A and B are shown apart, each in its own frame.
Chain A
Amino acid sequence: AQKVTQAQTEISVVEKEDVTLDCVYETRDTTYYLFWYKQPPSGELVFLIRRNSFDEQNEISGRYSWNFQKSTSSFNFTITASQVVDSAVYFCALSELGGGNKLTFGTGTQLKVEL
């Protein structure tokens, strides 16, 4: 069975601070996909990134970066120089090969960025 754990329920930071959101996953499959989604107060989830299990290269997109480590089954997300607009709930998710769009989500981390 798949499982995604986001141990941080809520994080509060001051604008311009860096913040890392942790994600640990469990799966028996050797081929799987990992995701991060953002849910702003309006409710709709916004896709941020997808990684497959064979690609452990870290990725950077503007102020966002992701660190994927198979050895520790972790897929952490870092926001550099956080901004108030980054305030949202962030979800890590996992899908297995052949699972289509059936994602297993973590419980989410509420990020609050204050001035």
Chain B
Amino acid sequence: KAGVTQTPRYLIKTRGQQVTLSCSPISGHRSVSWYQQTPGQGLQFLFEYFSETQRNKGNFPGRFSGRQFSNSRSEMNVSTLELGDSALYLCASSLGLAGTNTGELFFGEGSRLTVL
């Protein structure tokens, strides 16, 4: 069973640019969550999508956005990049059903974004 796939794995951008990151969840998983990991702030929740709808949102500015497609694949976009956006962006998928599996996430290896 293929795991969670994130692309690209590494990318370098300059301030002011925008970036789009992609995530393909495990087959059959309908929920995709995004997390930002930095040395200073640690792991922080960005948002969660389930069946193409945003189900939860973290405390990030509107420059951070996401979407989910009908095949459960998800993208996140960061516009007007700032130096502080340099981070490892982790995508996680799950069945998405409320109850016993809540929080049991399968993570990808992440997309490492460097903003110069």
- A residues within 8 Å of B by Cβ? 33, 35, 37, 42-47, 50, 91, 93, 95, 99-108
Contacts and interface: CB of A to CB of B under 8 A. Distances in A.
B94 A101 contact: yes
A-B residue pairs, 6 tightest by C-beta: A105-B43, A45-B107, A102-B56, A44-B107, A101-B33, A43-B109
A45 B50 CA distance: 20
Contacts, number: 69
B92 interface: yes
B66 interface: no
Given A46-B107, A101-B31, A101-B102, A108 B48 contact: no
B102 A95 contact: yes
With most chain B CB atoms within 10 A of its CB, the pick from A47, A91, A95, A102 is A102
B1 to A, nearest CB: 15
Given A33-B102, A35-B104, A101-B103, 16 more contacts: A37-B107, A43-B110, A44-B4, A44-B108, A44-B110, A45-B90, A46-B107, A50-B103, A100-B48, A100-B50, A101-B33, A101-B92, A104-B45, A105-B42, A105-B44, A108-B42
